[in-house]
Structure 1
Amino acid sequence: MTHEQLQAFLRVAQEGRLSRAAKRLGLSQSGLSRQLQSLEAALGTRLLVRTPGGAVLTDAGERFLPHARRALDALAAGTSELERLSNTPRGPVSLGTLHTVGAYLLPDIIPAFAQRFPDVRPRLSEAMASTLEEGVARGALDLAILSLPVRRADLVSQKLWEEVLMLAVPRGHRLTKSSRPVTLGDVVEETWVVIPSMSGTRALEAECEARGVTPKVAMETDNAEAMRRMVERGLGIALVPELMARDHAARGFDVVPLAKSGLKRQVALVHRGEGYLTAAARELKSFIVESVRAMPEPWGAGRRGGAPSGQRVR
């Protein structure tokens, strides 16, 4: 049965005549009759009987009437709740992010967002860019902060910033005392701590392959904090984004810039489109974009993005 069939039944029960009920509903009398016949067919019983004095409810119709009213009331309440949800930021919103962004940027953003929108509950998950992209496409994630490029043409992307990759080395490492600029080719034979599939790891593997060298990987991890702490303990060196390196003086590692490396990553906020976002997700998206724009420049002037929301990545 449909909303229209229930509405037709209730209107006839209220008006007592099909002609008046049809006029109130904006239907022809034959159209109203078809709605009633379809409802009776779905229920397997007669609900109304036409008499010279008008439409009269059968015993089954009398019994069904309060249930029909409750059903329409429940639908109206549900519709009202969804309309309220679409306009009021509340409830859960799922945000996927790169490990480095989750550890080094979001702690500066999410607490302020929670203070402004206490009825919104962000759910944070961390993964590789490809996993995040698929999570957004499947609807498992409302939003994701990941590195470009995005391979799916059905997702919407807004670039947040661009940053170069740098070497994180243990304190006092010989590379910090180099008298000339360090290139990636100079360090391919170092011992490494890596995050597989990270842009820096792919660049390292390509450089090693070009030079006929097998990378000396002391440890693979999927956790940025674990990688940093292993570097601090002297296990090896790592390629890290500027975001992760900006507070290195307060931590236990040094940073060595790479000369003319061209190694960089572009970070973007990705979702399926405005129509798929709840009010909570829309507010979190806007808050992240504005927070990044308002932050002191930690990654170099002019590296921030600003592509219009809704630009599709091809």
Structure 2
Amino acid sequence: MDESELRAFTALARELRFTRAAKSLNVSQPTLSRLVQRLERQLGAKLVVRAPQGVVLTDAGERFLPHAERALASIDSGVVEVSELSGEPRGEVKIGALPTIVAYVLPPVVAGFHKTYPAVKLIVLEGGTGGLEAKVARGELDLALVQYPPKSEELSALLLWREEHRLALPPHHRLAGSKKPIALQSLIDEPFVVIPGTIGMRKMEEVCAAVGKRPSVALETDNLESVRRMIEAGLGVSLVPELMARDKRWRVEPIPISGGVVFRQVCVVHRGAGYLTAATRALRNAITAHAKTLKF
């Protein structure tokens, strides 16, 4: 059996659908199917069966999966050690980050890194903390910039910074001229423009729940630029991280929240020192150095 067969089987065991597993490996479904079938013939046992919901592992598949994962982890670790012999960062690094970090932190880091290490190809993926952590744990991402502390105890984490949230307001809003920080309690009846699952919205839900209410959501989106434009069009307000609040394009400068009760901590996570190639380590160092220049 070879590495491609093991990767085909573990991807199928993870995704439980041929389409998604093939896409994650960047191969066709027939190729994926042939690789798994070849592995089954070598083992003399059926590893997966098709079901209405997708794919189900057989008893043999369940038993073989941890062995396949350990074998691939050993191969990956060996590749890392060999790549370290050259000492010169090269190859590919996949990094994930929260949308605000992709928009407001990574551009100067990536530009400077590319100039220093032109032989390294960077791939950047946006997402939420939970999804990004899972991708790092599965080896689909090398690094991720997520909320601290990480939920997965398997990941190594380095705290980078702590930032408060601010209130973004439409022009002509009743609070737009405020010279003082705003209390969350005064926002209970405001319509919100939100990206679901953010720290600011979770805190607002707590404040509203204390008086038996729920926040009024005028719009949900997964796009930062949409948030800013919808607020400026007068659709509602939003609690945004200071990184986003510093954007000079706001027509009304976002206002601090009293008491500093809404904040997030950001960290960089990876699977462990043994999985860091020279390129991945160099990128982590570049991110860490840039984070020290951010003033909150």
Q: Give the alignment's TM-score, normalised by structure 1.
A: 0.65
Structure 1 equivalent of residue 183 of structure 2:
183
Structure 1 equivalent of residue 130 of structure 2:
130
Secondary structure of residue in 2 paired with 1:109: helix
Structure 2 equivalent of residue 252 of structure 1:
251
Secondary structure of residue in 2 paired with 1:212: coil
Say whether residues 1:219 and 2:227 are aligned partners.
Answer: no
| 8 Å contact from structure 1 (residues 194, 221) kept in 2 | yes
Structure 2 equivalent of residue 265 of structure 1:
264
Deviates more, 1:231-240 or 1:136-145: 231-240
Give the Cα separation in 2 of the matches to 1:80 and 1:171: 53
Structure 2 equivalent of residue 106 of structure 1:
106
| 8 Å contact from structure 1 (residues 195, 221) kept in 2 | yes
Secondary structure of residue in 2 paired with 1:240: strand
Structure 2 equivalent of residue 196 of structure 1:
196
Please tell me the residue identity of whatever aligns with 2:121.
R
Moved over 3 A (4+): 78-86, 178-181, 250-253
Residues 80 and 122 from structure 1, CA distance in 2 versus in 1: closer, same or farther, beyond 3 angstroms? closer
Q: CA deviation at 1:83?
A: 3.8
Give the Cα separation in 1 of the matches to 2:183 and 2:87: 52
| 8 Å contact from structure 2 (residues 114, 120) kept in 1 | yes
Q: CA deviation at 1:98?
A: 0.2
Secondary structure of residue in 1 paired with 2:253: strand
Q: Encode CA deviations 1:26-59: one digit per residue, 9 max, x unaligned.
A: xxxxxxxxxxxxxxxxxxxxxxxxxxxxxxxxxx
Structure 2 equivalent of residue 165 of structure 1:
165
Q: Encode CA deviations 1:128-155: one digit per residue, 9 max, x unaligned.
A: 1111111111111100001122111111
**What CA RMSD, in Å, does the superposition of the two structures yield over aligned residues?**
2.3
Residues 215 and 120 from structure 1, CA distance in 2 versus in 1: closer, same or farther, beyond 3 angstroms? same
Q: CA deviation at 1:85?
A: 7.1
Q: CA deviation at 1:111?
A: 0.7
Q: CA deviation at 1:180?
A: 5.2
Give the Cα separation in 1 of the matches to 2:123 and 2:283: 11
Residues 131 and 81 from structure 1, CA distance in 2 versus in 1: closer, same or farther, beyond 3 angstroms? closer
Structure 2 equivalent of residue 58 of structure 1:
none
Q: Encode CA deviations 1:150-171: one digit per residue, 9 max, x unaligned.
A: 1111111001100111111123
Structure 2 equivalent of residue 237 of structure 1:
237
Aligned ranges 1:294-305 → 2 under 5 Å: 295=293, 297=295, 299=296
Residues 242 and 211 from structure 1, CA distance in 2 versus in 1: closer, same or farther, beyond 3 angstroms? same
Q: Give the alignment's TM-score, normalised by structure 2.
A: 0.69
- Percent identity between the two aligned chains: 43
Unpaired segments ≥5 residues, structure 2: 1-77
Aligned ranges 1:43-62 → 2 under 5 Å: none
| 8 Å contact from structure 2 (residues 83, 277) kept in 1 | no
| 8 Å contact from structure 2 (residues 158, 267) kept in 1 | yes
- Equivalenced residues, count: 220
Secondary structure of residue in 2 paired with 1:200: helix
Larger Rg: 1
